[in-house]
Structures are given as structure tokens and as C-alpha cells.
Structure 1
Amino acid sequence: MKIFKRILLLILITIVGVVIYNYPKLNLLAGYSAKNIASSVFVADRTLEFTDTTDNDFSPVNLAADAIDLENKNATSSAFGLLTRKAIFREGLGAVLTLEESDETADYLVPRRLKADNNTPYPYGNAPQIDTVFASLDYDKLNESVDLLFDAVHKTRAVLVIYKDKIVSEKYVDGFDKNSKLLGWSMTKSLLSTVFGIMETQGGINVFDKAPIASWQNDDRKNITINNLLQMNSGLEWDENYEKISDATKMLFLERDMTKMQENKPLVGTPNESWNYSSGTSNLLSGILRTYFKTHQEYLDFWYTNFIDKIGMNSMVLEADLSGNYVGSSYSWATARDWSKFGLLYLKNGNWNGEELFTKDWVTYATTPTLGSNGTYGAQFWLNAENDFKDVPKNMYYADGFQGQRVYVLPDQEMVIVRFGLRNFDENTFLKGVIESIK
């Protein structure tokens, strides 16, 4: 009997040890699931069942038990009954994970939006485009290239191809259409960069100034510029790993103010000589942007009134953290058509229907390779400067998000290509096929 009790005690101690060791992982698991459920249901108008069986159907997130409260607009996810996380929906700011019960009733500001233009044809408005058939385009070859992405392997949800300002191919998987909001993930970083470009054009900021961060002024971090941050070349320590507990996962699922984590990291390299991809840097930049406005309301409004709504991306929702900062690293939702307008803005070098939002010089800056990135990165945009996509022009550049969310800008072809899905894909082959459809 004593032996049995000792074995039972040993098993119990082992179980407790395993739970304690894995508890932080359970926190992130439940946090990811709750946040994704809340955004999918309340921002993108999907169902709990759909999200659980598609977006959240990968290990270990699929181990969470999820529930939705439609009346109070929140989602909860439980990790084996040991830990439960809640995400709430805030109108105008999307979904956010709570850290305390008081977060559910806390007051918050809402961004003011411009009225949508539903009378002007696409792309400058939301009315149907004036269709044009291009003799220079092989539509069969184009659609064949697009169709190849729509199978069980690629898990593509949407593809849209713009040629000379016109939608020439557009396809959605069953359950999605032109009105479906899609999560851009890290394509949000390119939106963030654009806000800096607009502010610089308006004379409100100089990206080559030192980063205005008080906590850095007594050490070598005081030499870091906004440019270094935009180029992910600050030399600051950061662990961007989504397969484990890392700086990135702790920031997204455990922090009240996501702008602070990167700020508190030490230098481990030399600014302008130490490229390191960091979502924390993007959120730090969002916090820096906020300091350039007199009020929080002005910060919230500017992204929409001077950029997003101005170019008719009216479906877009930027999600904010509990402190009211836009999560510039990861969280933005919009339709494929609205995402294509973002690409068109860059294709047109910042000129939108006769109004200059930013200059061609900004485009050149944003697409100039960062030291140490091997020609792959500019200022929160990805590049093809070293021909990583061997069958695609070197001057192609793109916004890039987790699981293959993409907005490609191809200046030589006068094309913008948008792709959304749940899995990465052979980008070179796809882009090559689309490009070769131009006769």
C-alpha cells in the first residue's frame, strides 16, 4: 500500500510539474484562440464554428475549447479547463484580449471615419468599375494561374489582380466574396510605414531624426533613428519566434501596451548594421507616432482620415491594444478589393486621384534595401532586389503577412496582385504565370 501511495504521489507531482512548466504556453494558446475567434466573429462576421474548423484548426490552438457571447460581444477560450482567456470586441477598435475584469467595462476612444464614396467607380470609389477588355492580356492564361492556387493544398481564400487600374481577375473560395474582411497580419507593418510617409510629406516628421524615446537618452540607444526602426536595423534585442514563448508571442498575448516591449530591450548590435525582423519594433513605431499628436483622438483619426478612408479602404479595421495603440505589427482587416487600393496607391507613387498623399521619394525610400537584409527588406516592405523570386522583376515589392497574405506591387507591369489564404505557396511560379499573361 505504501508503494502504491508513493507511486500515486510521484504521478501527482509529475502532473503538477508538467502543468506549471506548460502554464505559460497554455496562456498563449488560449489567448491566440480567443483573440482570433473574437476578431473573426465580430470584425469579419464569421461564425465560431467556421473559425474553429478553419483558422484555428492547427496544433496546438485546436486544443482550446472556445465559446462566443454574441450579446456581450466577447469570446472565451479554455486550455484543458486549466486556464481561460477572454477577448472583447470594441466598436471601431476591433477585438482585444483582456488582462483584468475591469478591461471589459473600461472607456475607450473611437476613431472618426470619413464617409465612403459608393458612387465613384472602383478604384477611386466603391461603385462597380468601368470594365475594360485589354487586348494585351491573355485572360485564359491569367485565370489559369489564379485557379492553381485554389485547392486543398494551397488553402487560398482570395486572389485579385489589378492591371492598368482595372480588376482583371478576382476569385474567392466558397464562403468568401468581395465583401469578406481578411486579416493582413504583418501587412499591417506596411500600413504603419505609409503613415510615416504621409506625415513626412506633410512636414510633421523626419524619419532620419533620433527616435524620441526618453528612456534611451542615457545610453547608446539614444543614437537609434526612426529610420533604423523602420528598416528593422536598430540593433535592439528581439526574439521573433511563433513556435515558442518569445518576445513576439508575449507581446501579442500578454501585454497591455504593446509599444513598450521593444523599447525596454537592450542594444545587442550596432544601429544601421544589425538587421533583425521585429514585430516589437513596428509596435514601438506605432507608439512613436502617437507622440507626434496632441491628443489620443488625433492619433486614432489620422490613420483613417489622411490615408485609409481617403483612398476608399472603408472596410478596414485597425485593431488596438488595451492602451489604445494600433497594433502596427499585426492586426488589420479589410476586403481584398480594399487591400488592392493600398497596392495601387504605391503603384501610383502616392498620388491618389490627383492628390499627393506621399511622394515618389518616399516610395524609393521604402523600397531601398536595408543593410544586412540581403536585399529582402526596405522600410516595413519586402523586396525582390536580389531576385529571390527569379522569374519576377527585381523592382517588385510587397507587403507580407503570416500564412501568405500578400499585396504585390509590380511597377513594370502596372499590376497589383493580392492573395489571402491559410498557407504559404510557391510565389515565384504564381507571379511568373500572372506576368506572362501580359502579351
Structure 2
Amino acid sequence: MDNTPVTRRHASRLALACLTALAVQGAQANLIDDIPAGTGYAALEMCTRTMQSRDDYLRVRWYYTVPVVQPLSAVWMVDYVPGVKVNVRSWVPFITNPRTAIYRKGLGCTIVPPGTTEAAVRAQPFKAIDMPAPSSHSWPMGEAAADATGLSASQLALLKARGDQIFSESTSKVSQKKNSIAFLVAYKGRLIHERYAKDYNRDQPQLGWSMTKSLTALIAGAMATDGRLSLDAPVGLPQWSGSAKATITWKQLLNMAPGLAWTEGYTGAGDTTDMLFSQADEGSWAAEHPLTSTPGTVFNYSTGSPNIAMLRMRQLLGGSHQALYNYYQQRLLMPLGIRQGIIEPDASGTPVGGARGILRPVDWLRLGQLVSQGGQWQGQTLINANAMNFLLAGSPATAEYGGYIWRQPTSKEIPADLINRIPADTVMFLGHLGQFTVIVPSKQLVVVRMGVSLDMDSTKRDVFGTVADLVDQL
């Protein structure tokens, strides 16, 4: 057991102070509600980043996890078993709320929520696909290094300067650091810049958080291309049969406008954390939310929606996690040359399509390149024009969002003084803690930034300032 390096008496005083502060401030719901979210988040974060991404445990614990789950770290106990699992719980009587994240090779980490056993989750059948040997060809098909041939001295200087800015820190406070891990740029279908933080390398896959929603959309686009689903047809979830929800179409679900009630909260009071850290079958749980508006009319950002999409795609492919895993690996990731890419499943075996995609930064860049090329890849149509056009078009509910992909017009994610420098066809995969894949098809430009940002204002300015400068000079 790996306990926090404060004495139990001191921790007790800290816990009392935290409880008092929360009671006085009314902050983020109350600590009792927050602890299941915090213990679940911490267990999954430490499991995924150390066991799937092969990051350093102490760095992940103290620099990436503690600042996000405060004040939990004053009262938590952590059992860390390398390569096996992480258990996090509070020692506060009656509100221990333990959460365990287990690691399975080829699948990553999964929360074992109340009502589910570790043994049952581990017993689920699964066989990882054998990956072909890496190619030495140039990116995007191979694993050759970045090639900046043909760039001018001023363009090279710009890439270095913007990278220096992205990796810079303006403070020594752990709770305010940008923690950049990767910065990559593709231009005209070629990898021209690739840089990682100290102690990181290309072969470490990184958690995309909500960038996974865009990956889920691309899988849906591939299924639509193959005729396995129709974007204009009802989703067809069996549990919606005979209800008003039965009319919800794939387009409405992918536009974040299915009409379902959802609170995208990140404390104990939010649907998102309840789903991610306390539900075994996340898609089914999200699908049970009541209908509160006419489908297609109201944009309501929801991590539950892509989990519903994943659940239904699994059903359409035969019902097993293995079939869905095989499909997205063989139909989408492998043709792109993507290695080590997975979407971690929930305890029922369904991939968590709203949050748990883990790919190398160079592979997130490949997904962006596919979008930039309109679904075409090396002479193949991976996603047809009809599906891709839908994913990138503004929805009837909001011009800011397409099919699980953000769009430039009126985007609140881009600093106001930079938005006029960002081309109107720009689209984005965006994720929690500063995950960005920014795609400018008219400039054949794709930019990826990944990390664990605790200073999102600075990180957004770094990323979109970089995009604006590259658009001007490339």
C-alpha cells in the first residue's frame, strides 16, 4: 500500500479543514458527493497513464492527479499494484467510496464500479489483434522521423519558437502548470515537426479524453460508409423501442442533439462522473435519461451520447466487444498505420466512446490527416463523402458543432482576438486537460498538442496562436 506522506493526525486536520471549507463555500457540491468522482478519477488516471501509457507513477500521482482531485488527496489511501490495478479510497468513516481500476493488456484500464466484481470483468473474453511490423517509410504510412525538408529558415524558426512556447511554464506551482507532453505538425500530408517533453517519446500512447468523441464519430462514419448503419435512420437502440426515444436518428445523436436530459458536470453532482466512475454499462445508463426536448433541436454537450453510440455500434456488429474492437482496428486504425490505439472499455465491455481513447500523439495526428483529406487515404475511401460532409457540417442545433467534431465558426474555444486569423473551415478534436487536434483542410495543416494542462487559458492561446502563425507563414 502506498500511503500519502502525511501523518494520519495531520491528514485528519486537513480533512476537517476541507470539509469545513466546502461547507462554507458551497463548492462543487459537497465532499461526500465528490469522493466517488475523485476516487474513480484518480484510480483510472493513475492506472491508464502508468500502465497503458507507461508514464512514471510518482509524476502521474503528484503532478497530474492530485491537483485535479483536491481536496481528496488529503484523505485518500492508494493501493497501487503495477501492471495489475489501482485502488483509491477515502479513510473518512462511512464515505470511503473505494474505486478500483484494473489493467488488462490490450484493453487498457477499466473501472470496476459497485455491483460488479474484478473477477467478472477479467473473465470477459478478448484477444488483441496482432499488429504488423512497423514500417520505416515516411509518415503517415510509416514510422520515419519528422521531415522538414523544403521549409524556409523562418518557417523552421517559427516551429521552434512555437514549440518553446507550448512547452514553457510561467510558474512553479504544480496546480497551475501546462504540463505539455507532445506537439506535432503535419503539412501537405507530411510530418514536419514532432516534439515531446523530457522523458517522453513517440511510442507512448496518450489519453485523448473527449477527442475520443471524434474518433467515435469516425468509426460511425466508417460503418455508414459500409452500409452497417444509416445516418438518417433511427439509432434503433432496443431499450428505446416503443418510446418517443425510438425516433432519435444517428445524425441527431452524433450532433449532440438527441433531446435527452444530461448534465455535463465533473463533480459528484454531474452525470458525466457518475457514468464514468460508478456505472458498469455506461451507454445503457446514459440511454435511460429522459427525453426533455424534441430530437435535433437542442445542442446539449454530453459524454453520454457517444457512449450510447458505441453501445449501438457494438449491437449492430453482433453484440460482442471483440467484434467492435476488431472492426475499428481493422477498418479504421490499421489502414491509417495506427499502432497501439485502443478505446478503454467500461465494465460491460463496451468501449467508452466519450472519453477513453488512447493513441500515440502521432496517431491522433493521423486521424486529423484523414479528416483533412475528406476521408480518403492512400487511394482508399475509408469514410465516404456523404458521411464526412455530415461530420464536418454545422448541425441544425448549433453551427459550432458537427458530428462529434468542433467547428471554427463562433467557437468559444478559440481566444476572441485569434478567431479571425483561424480559417473558417477549421475543425477540431478537443479533450479535457488540453488535448487538441486542430485541422485546417484549406491549408492542409494539422496540429496536435497533448498534455495535462492545469492552465487552460494559456494552453488555448499557445495552441491557437500556433495555428494562426502557421496559417500565415506556411
TM-score (normalised: structure 2)? 0.83
The offset of 1:248, in angstroms, is: 0.7
1:68 aligns with 2:80: yes
- Matched residues in 1 for 2:304 and 2:218: separation? 18
- Matched residues in 2 for 1:261 and 1:136: separation? 54
User: For 1:254-300, what per-residue CA distance to the aligned partner results, in whole angstroms no more than 9, with x for missing partners?
Assistant: 01111112210111111111110011111000001011112512222
1:256-335 equivalence runs, <5 A: 256-296=280-320, 297-335=322-360
The offset of 1:122, in angstroms, is: 1.6
1:219-258 equivalence runs, <5 A: 219-258=243-282
- Matched residues in 2 for 1:348 and 1:47: separation? 36
1:108 aligns with 2:125: yes
User: For 1:147-204, what per-residue CA distance to the aligned partner results, in whole angstroms no more than 9, with x for missing partners?
Assistant: 2111224332211011112222222221222222211000001111001111111122
Alignment partner, residue 143 of structure 2: 126
Q: Identity of aligned pairs, percent?
A: 23
- Matched residues in 2 for 1:136 and 1:278: separation? 44
- Matched residues in 2 for 1:131 and 1:138: separation? 9
**Structure 1 pair 136–287 and aligned structure 2 pair: CA distance change class (3 A):** farther
Alignment partner, residue 78 of structure 1: 89
Task: Check conservation: 1:397, 1:408, Cα contact below 8 A.
Answer: yes
Task: Check conservation: 1:400, 1:406, Cα contact below 8 A.
Answer: yes
1:28 aligns with 2:37: yes
- Matched residues in 1 for 2:284 and 2:72: separation? 27
Counterpart amino acid of 1:167?
Answer: L
> SS state of the match for residue 138, structure 1?
helix
| Structure with greater proportional helix content | 2
Alignment partner, residue 26 of structure 2: none
- Matched residues in 2 for 1:135 and 1:409: separation? 22
Counterpart amino acid of 1:265?
Answer: H
The offset of 1:332, in angstroms, is: 1.3
> Where does the alignment leave 5 or more consecutive residues of structure 1 unmatched?
1-10
1:151-190 equivalence runs, <5 A: 151-153=168-170, 154-190=178-214
The offset of 1:428, in angstroms, is: 3.3
Task: Check conservation: 1:114, 1:305, Cα contact below 8 A.
Answer: no
**Structure 1 pair 110–54 and aligned structure 2 pair: CA distance change class (3 A):** farther
> SS state of the match for residue 57, structure 1?
helix
Structure of larger gyration radius: 1
1:370 aligns with 2:395: yes
User: For 1:90-132, what per-residue CA distance to the aligned partner results, in whole angstroms no more than 9, with x for missing partners?
Assistant: 1111101113353464233234244244233221122346652
Counterpart amino acid of 1:26?
Answer: I
Alignment partner, residue 44 of structure 1: 53
Alignment partner, residue 344 of structure 1: 369
The offset of 1:81, in angstroms, is: 5.3
The offset of 1:339, in angstroms, is: 1.1
Task: Check conservation: 1:93, 1:110, Cα contact below 8 A.
Answer: no
Alignment partner, residue 138 of structure 1: 155
The offset of 1:343, in angstroms, is: 0.8
1:395 aligns with 2:425: yes
> SS state of the match for residue 169, structure 1?
strand
> SS state of the match for residue 33, structure 1?
helix
Q: Which residue of the other structure, out of 380, 392, 405, is the alignment partner of 1:355?
A: 380
> Where does the alignment leave 5 or more consecutive residues of structure 2 unmatched?
1-15, 24-29, 171-177
> SS state of the match for residue 282, structure 2?
coil
- Matched residues in 1 for 2:268 and 2:33: separation? 10
Counterpart amino acid of 1:147?
Answer: D
User: For 1:331-369, what per-residue CA distance to the aligned partner results, in whole angstroms no more than 9, with x for missing partners?
Assistant: 011221111111111111112111111123322211111
- Matched residues in 1 for 2:358 and 2:80: separation? 20
- Matched residues in 2 for 1:386 and 1:87: separation? 39
1:430 aligns with 2:441: no
**Structure 1 pair 206–120 and aligned structure 2 pair: CA distance change class (3 A):** same
> SS state of the match for residue 66, structure 2?
coil
User: For 1:63-107, what per-residue CA distance to the aligned partner results, in whole angstroms no more than 9, with x for missing partners?
Assistant: 433231126x11111223552322110111110111335346423
Task: Check conservation: 2:135, 2:141, Cα contact below 8 A.
Answer: no
Alignment partner, residue 175 of structure 2: none
**Structure 1 pair 142–89 and aligned structure 2 pair: CA distance change class (3 A):** same
Equivalent pairs counted in the alignment come to: 420
Task: Check conservation: 1:406, 1:419, Cα contact below 8 A.
Answer: yes
Counterpart amino acid of 2:150?
Answer: V
Counterpart amino acid of 1:355?
Answer: Q
- Matched residues in 2 for 1:428 and 1:98: separation? 38
The offset of 1:431, in angstroms, is: 1.8
1:53 aligns with 2:62: yes
TM-score (normalised: structure 1)? 0.90
Task: Check conservation: 2:147, 2:191, Cα contact below 8 A.
Answer: no
**Structure 1 pair 383–417 and aligned structure 2 pair: CA distance change class (3 A):** same
- Matched residues in 2 for 1:410 and 1:225: separation? 29
Alignment partner, residue 5 of structure 1: none
Task: Check conservation: 1:113, 1:301, Cα contact below 8 A.
Answer: no
**Structure 1 pair 107–221 and aligned structure 2 pair: CA distance change class (3 A):** closer
- Matched residues in 2 for 1:255 and 1:248: separation? 10
Counterpart amino acid of 1:257?
Answer: D
**Structure 1 pair 370–167 and aligned structure 2 pair: CA distance change class (3 A):** same
Alignment partner, residue 207 of structure 1: 231
The offset of 1:240, in angstroms, is: 0.4
> SS state of the match for residue 181, structure 2?
strand
